[in-house]
Amino acid sequence: MRPGLWARRRRPLVRAEIIVSRALILLAASFAGTVFAIEPSSSLWWHAGLGALAWLPGSLVWSSPYQLGQLLGLRPPASRP
């Protein structure tokens, strides 16, 4: 029997998933910071920067506490099955 969506989402992350998640978080944060530093007026880039900032906490809300610990480097990555 296949695991359900909740069980698949709560599984520990492997090393590649941790690296990709950290890279996406850094990319979104650096994009938002660059947009707000270069062009602080209200424009299309301003809205894109706000969207990137809204994505950051939204992506972390769907992670389990163990996965958040893995992203912060407090827990080891899972081995490949």
pLDDT digits (tens, 9 = 90+) for 5-56: 666 667 899 999 999 999 999 999 999 888 888 876 767 888 888 888 888 8
> Residue ranges of the alpha helices (H) in the chain?
5-9, 15-38, 44-61, 65-72
Sequence-distant (6+) residues with CB within 8 A of 79 are 14
Q: Model-level pTM?
A: 0.78
CA atoms within 13 A on the CB side of 41: 1
Tokens describing residue 3: 């695991």
